[in-house]
Amino acid sequence: MILILQSKATDDQVDHVIEKVESLGLKAHLSRGTYRTIVGIIGDESKLSEERLRSIPGVSEVVPVLPPYKLASLEAHPEPSVVNVSGVQIGGGHLGMIAGPCSVEDADRMHRIAKSVRDAGANLFRGGAYKPRTSPYAFQGLGEDGLKILREVGDEYGMPIVTEVTDPRNVELVAKYADMLQVGARNMQNFVLLTEVGKTSRPVLLKRGMSATIKDLLMSAEYVLSQGNPNVVLCERGIKGFDTITRNLFDVAAVPAVKALTHLPIIVDPSHATGRPDLIPPCALAGIAAGADGVHVEVHDCPEEAKSDGPQALLPDQYQELAKQMRQLAELFQKTISPLPEALA
């Protein structure tokens, strides 16, 4: 850490800062400039709390020099991680192609949609059985019945399945059925839930919160990693913006910005990011061009009957067309798309 003292810091305050640092078993390196005094702290920074240092009288700013997300950092793991979802790889040159409806609905529809996205080239099937809905009066998901449908459909078409978990009490149950656990944007800083999914061995799809900085996202990933689960895939799905023309603001630069800081894979979700079917294909392609390790797209065969988020789903034909373009881009950028696994792990 580096402490920048206030221009009016008194000699007593400077002495107090140094004592404080030394009382923690660290060395303080004083540098008096023309206008400001700087204290460099030498030693094991992990013992220090930025907040407490900022509370010491006379301290103006605290500049950390090490990232606070240790396990997620490139310093800890310089090579890109590859996350294996029951045989489908994401990261390190492998693109995850996740598709499916927002919510799990009746089994027939799930079969139809799964078949269509599998035929189009998706290698992971998604659907929500527990839906975090803004309104208490909206459809909340089919619960365990939905999980059963998902599992059956995944098995039939040979696709690993991804589904959201919203309640720490359900983590074990969801992990029994699903190949990958999704933590949604609204739960990105639900640390209780992160801790529970960190205790499982299922890969986790961690969506960025709407007001989360990239550092916040990595800190949330760190919660999962620090519990012993190294299989985290990040997801940029749009942040809060001021223009209501799109549902959220797709921060495509987050893809390379994340890759400059962490070894974890990052995919994009243009469905939630834009909320408009006409914008999903260009944004999906933009995501791959920016280096994303996969694309998550909502697909429904009759959006006006969808139990949730119909307006942001592609029709199966539209997904097929998009998937073709995504494969062309993948080839251009020398990315691989895992085939469906022989057998689900």
Taking the complex as a whole, how short is the minimal distance between the CB of residue 280 and a copy of itself, in angstroms? Answer: 9
Q: Which of 310, 254, 312 is nearest to 281 (CA)?
A: 312
Which one of 14, 181, 204, 239 is in contact with a copy of itself (CB under 8 A)? 239
In angstroms, give the least distance from the CB of 38 to a copy of itself. 5
3-class DSSP state for residue 254? helix
First CA to last CA distance, the chain? 45
Task: Give the integer Cα–Cα distance in Å for 265 and 72.
Answer: 11
Window 279 to 338, contacts with a copy of itself (CB under 8 A): 279, 282-283, 285-291, 303-306, 308-311, 313, 328-329, 332
CA distance 160 to 175: 12
Residues 23-82 binding a copy of itself (CB under 8 A) are 29, 31, 33-36, 38, 40-46, 49, 51-52, 54-57, 61, 63, 65-66, 68, 70, 75
SS3 335: coil
Residue 207 φ/ψ, nearest 5 degrees = -85, 145
Q: Is 190 in the site for a copy of itself (CB under 8 A)?
A: yes
**Closer of 7 and 336 to a copy of itself (Cβ):** 7
- According to the binding rule CB under 8 A, does residue 189 interact with a copy of itself? yes
Q: Give the nearer residue to a copy of itself in terms of CB position, either 13 or 84.
A: 13
Note the maximum CA span of the chain.
76
Binds a copy of itself by CB under 8 A, chosen from 164, 179, 222, 236: 222
Amino acid identity, position 288: I
CB-nearer residue toward a copy of itself: 289 or 345: 289
Among 12, 76, 119, 169, indicate the residue that binds a copy of itself (CB under 8 A): 169
What whole-number distance in Å separates Cα of residue 15 and Cα of residue 204? Answer: 47
Of 122, 197, 219, 267, the one binding a copy of itself (CB under 8 A) is 219
Beta carbon nearer to a copy of itself, 85 or 314: 314
Q: Which of residues 246-285 bind a copy of itself (CB under 8 A)?
A: 246, 249-253, 255-257, 260, 273-274, 276, 278-279, 282-283, 285
Please report, as a single letter, which amino acid is at residue 159: M
- What would the x/- binding string for a copy of itself be over residues 125 to 144, using CB under 8 A? -------xxxxxxx------
Judge contact between 41 and 26, C-beta under 8 A: yes
Pick out residues in 86-115 that bind a copy of itself (CB under 8 A): none
Residue whose tokens read 């190949």: 179
Q: Alpha-carbon distance 109 to 101, whole Å?
A: 10
Residue 234's DSSP bridge partners are 206, 266
Are the C-beta atoms of residues 263 and 81 closer than 8 Å to each other?
Answer: yes
Question: Which of 44, 156 has the CB closer to a copy of itself?
Answer: 44
